[in-house]
Amino acid sequence: MPWDAVKALRFSESAFTNALVVTHPEKHLLRHRTTRIALAGMRSEKDRFKAVVGAYWQRHQVMRMHQAEG
């Protein structure tokens, strides 16, 4: 899934598994669709994963903003 197809990212934690929840618009529908990506075995690396994905997401948002300006 390309970054431009992503509307929001959220890290979901539960007792059994961690997951990355990706919200993206669905073609020809007014609402958004969510895709849940299970992240098994990441207990020790979850903070680092969240930081890295957050940094890439922020960088892409800034790039989108600059493209829209000009």
Range of the domain at 43: 3-69
- Look at the chain and report how many structural domains it folds into: 1
pLDDT at 49: 92
Write the pLDDT tens digit of every residue in 7-52.
899 999 888 888 999 998 877 767 788 999 999 888 788 899 999 9
pTM for this prediction: 0.75
- Cα(57)–Cα(16) distance, integer angstroms: 26
